[in-house]
Structure 1
Amino acid sequence: MADDIAISVRDLGVLFRRNRRGRRNIKDLFGGAARRARPNEFWALRHVSFDVTQGEAIGVVGRNGQGKSTLLKLVAGVLLPDEGEVVINGGVAPLIEITGGFVNDLTVRENVRLTAGLHGMPKAEIARRFDDIIGFAELEDFVDTPYKHLSSGMKVRLAFSVVSQLEEPILLVDEVLAVGDKAFREKCYRRIDELLAEGRTLFFVSHNEKDLRRFCTRGLYLDKGALKLDGSIGDVLDAYNADYAPR
């Protein structure tokens, strides 16, 4: 992979099942490949290929259930593909699920140390950045509060604050910021602007057209698990809106 490529995706595919009740019969076992496919299986993504250069800001567009979050999790390494591959040049800082990596019975203080450590931040660096993490999350009065007692907005603030302090070159952001209040959301967006100015790569999944146009220069339009369009964010959003505009 070339040095200027941050993410390389080749012929990516992942197979899901709608439920666990499907069974095959004798005819299926001795039939062709099509008959041997398990009942109720479907390709959440298939034949998806693209490259992301370092410093690019990519927005992923599509209706619910079209593979956007699945693609993000494949890039993050949370899911493994059934076909193809994802190659990452450097580490990733994933903000995908607000509960990911946090333990309900641990305090905010303990969770910061645990989560940042799991992402590879050394203990000395965690200690150095701890006050900034808590200050950004606006949780100074809740440092010794168990995580399970935080509101959903507090959890979002803590997750974003920890992840945005990681030095990883690639930032993965799902739509979790939609849960936070408007003032903190703007604070997060300013932080994303700072990270992009530092040359970080952004992989951003959102239904918010304003946010996509603000951060992203390029878009990926997913439809029925396939990459329908890879182009400028304006062209991608125009195509998506044309497909799903009220008739």
Structure 2
Amino acid sequence: MSNTLEQTTAARPSIIVDHVTKKFLKRNTHSFKEAFVGWTKGKKVRADYFRALDDVSFQVGEGESVAVLGFNGSGKSTTLKMVSGVLEPDEGRVFTRGRVAGLIEVGAGFHPELSGRENVFLNAAILGMSKKETEARFDEIVAFSEIGDFIDQEVKHYSSGMFMRLAFSVAIHVDLDVLLVDEVLSVGDAPFRKKCNDKLEELTRQGVTMLVVSHNMQTVQRLCSRGIVIHEHKVLFDGPIDEAVEVIRTTPH
């Protein structure tokens, strides 16, 4: 009885993407100026749509680490933004369970006029942490970021590397159930990238559900057990990560 319950619990989905289609407006004018001139002359500005995602469905189980693979423009990042709630589907539904943190646009919640310290609390609040939780993790966040005394400087004076390290450190120290990662590990120096990868591996061992977008096949093979290949805005393959990587390598652009 106990084993059955454990298996059922382990199989519970943390992410459900159910027949999702996302369309974006594509105008046939080359600039806002052309659109405005056309409008003043009473001409209709023709507009049509392109599908970034076309009837995409998959589930990610609790504690599972899954890579979303595909060529540029295939719809990978759009998929992550759907799961994070940044975008809403035009058709279909997206469900997540638990606290979701997205490393999609690292530092998107940072304010340049505030200090690193103030931004830690601001960004942590955006990611769902209480002030008490952030205070308890603050020293750990700063130590991981390696920015030292710069924590009390305004972040507008940070280098891009310092900014990225602090933003990443905040995100991975949130008490989370689902982590979404989009190519952020391509930024920063080699030692810090390794440190980030090690931290992500630790989170997977702790049972955090992870959805990863990356062009680095070695990274996804190390972090993920399963791969979903999106090609021409549809799911082309969903299965073991090594097979997914092979599908990418043999699929023509």
User: What CA distance in whole angstroms lies between the structure 1 residues aligned with 2:99 and 2:137?
Assistant: 19
Pick the aligned partner of 1:165 from 169, 173, 184.
173
1:23-79 CA-to-partner distances (Å, cap 9, x unmatched) read 9xxxxxxxxxxxxxx733101001000111011110011111110001001000011
> What is the percentage of aligned positions where both structures have the same residue?
44
| Structure 1 residue 20, shift from structure 2 partner | 6.8
Instruction: Count residues with an aligned counterpart.
Output: 230
Give the TM-score normalised by structure 1.
0.89
**Does the Cα contact within 8 Å between 1:156 and 1:177 map onto a contact in 2?**
no
What letter is aligned with 1:59?
Answer: A
Q: Which residue of 2 aligns with 1:220?
A: 228
User: What CA distance in whole angstroms lies between the structure 2 residues aligned with 1:133 and 1:54?
Assistant: 26
Pick the aligned partner of 2:183 from 175, 179, 183.
175
1:184 aligns to what SS in structure 2? helix
Q: Which residue of 1 aligns with 2:99?
A: 91
The within-5 A match list for 1:100-115 is: 100-115=108-123
Pick the aligned partner of 1:146 from 145, 151, 154.
154
| Structure 1 residue 122, shift from structure 2 partner | 1.3
| Structure 1 residue 160, shift from structure 2 partner | 1.2
Give the TM-score normalised by structure 2.
0.87
Unaligned stretches of 5+ residues in structure 1: 24-37
1:149-197 CA-to-partner distances (Å, cap 9, x unmatched) read 1111112211110011111110100001201111001111111111111
Measured on the aligned residues, the alpha-carbon RMSD in Å equals 1.7
Unaligned stretches of 5+ residues in structure 2: 1-7, 36-45
Pick the aligned partner of 1:17 from 16, 19, 25.
25
Q: Which residue of 2 aligns with 1:8?
A: 16
Q: Which residue of 2 aligns with 1:30?
A: none
Q: Which residue of 2 aligns with 1:193?
A: 201
Large movers: runs of 4+ above 6 Å: none
Q: Which residue of 1 aligns with 2:245?
A: 237
Is 1:156 aligned to 2:169, yes or no?
no
Pick the aligned partner of 1:133 from 141, 145, 152.
141
Pick the aligned partner of 1:45 from 53, 60, 73.
53
The within-5 A match list for 1:46-65 is: 46-65=54-73
